[in-house]
Chains A and B, each alone.
Chain A
Amino acid sequence: DAEITQSPRHKITETGRQVTLACHQTWNHNNMFWYRQDLGHGLRLIHYSYGVQDTNKGEVSDGYSVSRSNTEDLPLTLESAASSQTSVYFCASSESINGVGKAFFGQGTRLTVV
C-alpha cells in the first residue's frame, strides 16, 4: 500500500545544531507540505512543494529550508536549531489541484531542542 513516512519519530537536539527531518511518500503525489503543530496554533505551514525542484515558503518558514530533488522526498532542514523550534512536525502529500481534500499525513516527528 502507498504511504507517507517520516523519520525520525522522535529527536532531541542541542541549540545551534543542524537537523534534518525526512519525509518519504509512495503516493506519487506532486504536492508535499511540512507543518508544525503547537498548542494554541494548530497546524502551521512551514514549506511546500508542487513538484520536483519547486519549493515555496509557508507561514512560518524562518529558520527552515527544504529541497525537492525527486517526487518521493521532501526533507526539512533546521539550519541552526532553536528552542522555539521545539514542536511536532507533520509532513503531508496530496494530489494536484482539487485533490487537496485527500491530503495524507505522516505520523509526525516530535523534535525537542534543548
Chain B
Amino acid sequence: EDKVVQSPLSLVVHEGDTVTLNCSYEVTNFRSLLWYKQEKKAPTFLFMLTSSGIEKKSGRLSSILDKKELFSILNITATQTGDSAVYLCAVPNNAGNMLTFGGGTRLMVKP
C-alpha cells in the first residue's frame, strides 16, 4: 500500500521567514511526486517532481526530490501572509492514475 507522510503537521512563522516542508513516501512503483497548495478551497497544483536532485522553482517556492532516501522538500523563502495554506504532497499509484495524499502541513504566516 502506498504511503505518504508529511511533517510538520503545522507551522507558524512570521513574514520574511524561510520554511521547509517535508514529505516522505513509500510506493510500489515510483512515477512522480506532486505538491499542492490548499487555501480555503480546492487544492491547486504546484510542482511535479520525477527526477532526483533537480530543483523545481516557481517564484519564492522551490522543491526537490531525493529518490534514494524517498523524500521531497518544499521550500518557501521570504514568506508572506498569502502563503498561509495547507500544503499537500501526493504520489500516483502504480498505474499512474490515482493519487495517495499525505496528511498535509498547515502553514500560518503571521504579519
Contacts and interface: CB of A to CB of B under 8 A. Distances in A.
Interface string A19-56: 00000000000010101000011111100101000000
Contacts, number: 55
B34 A101 contact: yes
Contacts of A107: 41-42
Interface stretch (B12-20, B57-65, B90-98): B90-98
B3 to A, nearest CB: 12
Task: Give the size range of A's interface with the partner.
Answer: 20 to 34
B99 to A, nearest CB: 6
Contacts of B6: 42
A2 interface: no
Given A105-B42, A106-B42, A107-B42, A48 B48 contact: no
Given A103-B45, A107-B41, A97 B97 contact: yes
Contacts of B88: 42-43
A48 B100 CA distance: 12
A71 interface: no
A100 interface: yes
Contact of A97 (B43, B44, B90, B96): B96
B92 A41 contact: no
Interface string B71-100: 000000000000000001010100111111
A42 B101 contact: yes
Give the interface centre of B42, B44, B95 by most chain A CB atoms within 10 Å: B42
A41 B102 CA distance: 8
Interface of A: 31, 33, 35, 40-45, 48, 50, 90, 94, 96-103, 105-108
21 contacts: A31-B98, A40-B103, A42-B6, A42-B88, A42-B104, A44-B101, A45-B99, A45-B100, A50-B97, A90-B42, A96-B97, A97-B95, A98-B96, A100-B92, A100-B96, A100-B99, A103-B45, A103-B99, A105-B42, A106-B42, A108-B42
